[in-house]
């Protein structure tokens, strides 16, 4: 079994792109999945235009059939994935008392339901093969209730942490580990897009290390948890937040 075959969701840009690039550079064959097929195809082509080691996939994390199709596509081309990185997410800045039911459903479906479906589909495939590594990208917001993001995002990311524990317990005996990484504010374009400059400056001032986190370091943490040697780490959460949350 090739243990260096991975699927990264939300890989068209931002943290997902950073993770996909770092994994590919480390020798992984990477399936890059995103709802934006055009953009994720461009990223995949920049890694390997031949498609031998990088493959774009159209995937809506709200749809279980999309995950099943992704599993099948990876099995057809490379024999099956061994690593799943649940990175796809959507953040919204919204006042608590003004979040609409529709906004709640949209944000929780992408961040929470998407993680559940991915763990369910890939977790079963991994368990059937007797090996797998699942890394869920959670968030500091899911631990402290959030500051710059909405309650729907914070609640969904809190659920990701719980799902990590539930699936870790379920799959541990089958050789599958499930862990989470909870980043604090990262130096990403999306952060600068959704957070006004004055509010972002104020946020940085509250971070003990006085800096936004580095996406490439989050990708390094993914590689650590994805390694075959990480078999004793499961149900864990790596806090990488500049000192904003300590436990």
pLDDT in tens, 212-239: 999 999 999 999 999 999 999 999 999 9
Q: Which residues pair with 84 in a beta bridge?
A: 7, 134
- Residue 128 within any structural domain of the chain: yes
Domain that includes residue 9, residue range: 5-240
Catalytic (active site) residue 153? yes
- Residue 246 within any structural domain of the chain: no
| Average of per-residue pLDDT across 35-41 | 98
Q: Tens digit of pLDDT for each residue in 49-84?
A: 999 999 999 999 999 999 999 999 999 999 999 999
In this predicted structure, the answer to whether residue 28 has a pLDDT above a threshold of 90 is yes
Q: Which of 28, 131, 153, 245 is catalytic?
A: 153
Q: Tens digit of pLDDT for each residue in 137-192?
A: 999 999 999 876 899 999 999 999 999 999 999 999 999 999 999 999 999 987 78
The model's confidence at residue 85, banded by pLDDT at 50, 70 and 90, is very high
Q: How many domains does the chain have?
A: 1
User: What pLDDT does residue 166 have?
Assistant: 98
* CA atoms of 100 and 142, how far apart (whole Å): 20
User: What pLDDT does residue 94 have?
Assistant: 86
The average confidence (pLDDT) of the chain is 96
What CATH number should be reported for the domain holding residue 179?
3.40.50.720
* CA atoms of 232 and 223, how far apart (whole Å): 15
- Residue 101 within any structural domain of the chain: yes
In the DSSP assignment, the letter for residue 99 is -
- Residue 247 within any structural domain of the chain: no
Kindly give the interhelix angle for 151-171 and 114-129, rounded to the nearest 10 degrees.
10
- Residue 71 within any structural domain of the chain: yes
> CB–CB of 174/127 below 8 Å?
yes
């Amino acid at each position: 079994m090739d243990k260096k075959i991975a699927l990264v969701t939300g890989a068209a840009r931002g943290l997902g792109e950073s993770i996909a690039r770092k994994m590919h550079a480390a020798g992984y064959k990477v399936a890059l999945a995103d709802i934006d097929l055009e953009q994720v195809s461009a990223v995949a082509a920049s890694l390997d235009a031949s498609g031998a080691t990088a493959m774009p996939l159209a995937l809506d994390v709200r749809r279980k059939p999309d995950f099943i199709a992704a599993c099948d596509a990876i099995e057809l081309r490379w024999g099956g994935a061994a690593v799943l990185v649940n990175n796809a997410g959507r953040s919204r800045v919204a006042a608590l008392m003004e979040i609409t039911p529709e906004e709640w459903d949209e944000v929780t479906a992408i961040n929470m339901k998407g993680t559940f479906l991915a763990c369910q589909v890939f977790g079963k495939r991994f368990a059937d093969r007797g090996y797998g590594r699942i890394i869920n990208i959670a968030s500091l917001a899911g631990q402290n209730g959030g500051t710059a993001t909405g309650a729907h995002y914070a609640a969904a990311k809190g659920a990701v942490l719980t799902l990590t524990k539930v699936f870790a317990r379920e799959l541990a005996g089958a050789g599958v580990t499930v862990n989470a990484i909870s980043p604090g504010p990262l130096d990403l374009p999306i952060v600068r897009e959704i957070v006004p400059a004055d509010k972002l400056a104020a946020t940085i001032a509250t971070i003990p290390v006085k800096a936004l986190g580095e996406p490439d370091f989050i990708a390094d943490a993914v590689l650590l948890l994805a390694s075959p040697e990480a078999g004793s780490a499961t149900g864990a959460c790596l806090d990488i937040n500049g000192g904003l949350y300590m436990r």
